[in-house]
Amino acid sequence: MAALQNRNGSYRVFFEYQRKQRVFTVGRVTEAEAKSKADQVDYLLMRLSQGLIELPTGVGIVEFVRQDGKVILTKDGVVTPAAKLTLGSLRDRYLETHGNGTLEERTLDGIRLHFKHLVAALGEAFPIGDLALSDLQSYVDRRAKAKGIRGELSPATIRKEIVTLRTTWNWGVKMDLVAGKFPNGGLRYPKMDAKPPFQTRTEIERQIPGLPAKDQAELWDALYLRVAEVEDLLAHVRGRSGHPWILPLLATAAYTGARRSELLRVRIADVDFEGSVLTIREKKRSHSERTTRRVPLSSNLASVLKEWIADHPGGPWLFCQAGEVERSKKRSRTTRHQSGDGRAKTLGERMKSVRNREGAAVTQLTKDEASDHFKRALADSPWSVVRGFHTLRHSFISACASRGVDQRLIQEWVGHLTAEVHKRYSHLYPSVQSEAIKSVFG
């Protein structure tokens, strides 16, 4: 195991290779950075002993570990560092590998956004192999001063950005692009408030008076609807929705707890009325295979879906759109409108390129179309406080929990739940709490 020696503030790393002790100077760095370098030396020595990497001919072991295993030998026999992988290159290679359907598009969008902030702070050409704890701490401190959508940037957002970098780093280690452990040992984040538990509308409204807008928004994010409220919301949508697919889409979200992306992947063949079950196509459970889960069809949902499928416009997707949609990039009446720097100056010249679309085919809904019409259906109504499909997912989970449904069944129906989310609705289990109190006081 590599050992450290501190001589007047300058660190040296000692290690043993082929029964001989070796040493090299790291320099005047922090103790955490020196420890990270020693861990990296141990990692390289382990891979050498396992035969997973080889020491290049003519390259000494000290120079090899000093340069993190990335060295080349020139024609003149001079050892030089290999070309250093940059943060931008690591990002591009990671996205290229995982952009083939392995990850959901929304997840990829989040990764791209995280790297946008990382690159803005560290630089596109930052040598990723030189990443140290001090770089990460500087990044965290800088981001902590940034502004978010609701004022101060949440520490949870900063953590997610670091997790994205760590995940990419660990993938890079497996691909022999970087070496050693991700240097986040000892990283400190600003303190964050725990998210509120899922609550009813009445509970939230009691807390709203006098709260800042940011805190109010966090409370509404924790909203869940009772079963009767879900039915009232769907009744409102039935009488107001501008497209026939909106009601069945929201009903499926409310009665299965499926995520928006999962709803948009449902096919007509996934609805089994005879077996009374709906198959959900997953992407979050496994990165190596396409998995599914099955959710029992309630009688209310079965009724709504039968009505929708009877008038379905065609195609394999359960939720789709046919015909013209105003201001849609793929379903508007006309196409080939000009934009950008080459756009003509006059209306007449711009209209020369415009053509009538031959006909809008029946195609799968996009996430933006689903979210846009969700908001439109609930706008200017008592249900406008429902912030998105995730509220219906929370409502499904909370309704099942409040009726004492076994946690394992809920997990099977809705898919993966983080420990944090599980904690936020676990207080709704009446039987669990009741039995706990009885065990103490009788």
Domains of the chain, start order: 3-81 (no CATH), 87-174 (1.10.150), 201-321+363-433 (1.10.443.10), 323-360 (no CATH)
User: In b/e form, how buried is each residue of 69-87, taking b as 16+ CB within 10 angstroms?
Assistant: bbbeeeeeeebeeeebbbb
The tens digit of pLDDT for each residue in 300-310 reads 999 999 999 99
Residue 432, pLDDT score: 56
pTM: 0.65
* DSSP summary character for residue 150: T
| DSSP one-letter code for 289 | S
Q: State the pLDDT confidence band at 225, using cuts at 50, 70 and 90.
A: very high
- Among the listed ranges 26-35, 148-157, 262-271, 428-437, which one has the minimum average pLDDT value? 428-437
* Residue 135: per-residue pLDDT: 94
pLDDT at 328: 54
How far apart CA 8 and CA 10 sit, in angstroms, is 6
Q: How confident is the model at residue 237 (pLDDT cuts 50, 70, 90)?
A: very high
| C-alpha neighbours within 13 Å on the C-beta side of residue 187 | 22
How do residues 353-366 score in pLDDT, each as one tens digit? 777 666 556 788 88
pLDDT at 77: 61
Task: Name which of 160-164, 191-195, 380-384 the model is least confident about.
Answer: 191-195
Q: What percent of the chain clears pLDDT 90, i.e. is strictly above it?
A: 43
At 75 the pLDDT is 59
Q: What are phi and psi of 73, to 5 degrees?
A: -110, 120
Which residues touch 349 (CB under 8 Å, ≥6 apart)?
none
In this predicted model, which residue has the larger pLDDT, 242 or 224? 224
**Phi/psi of residue 160, nearest 5 degrees:** -60, -40
pLDDT band for position 223 (50/70/90)?
Answer: very high
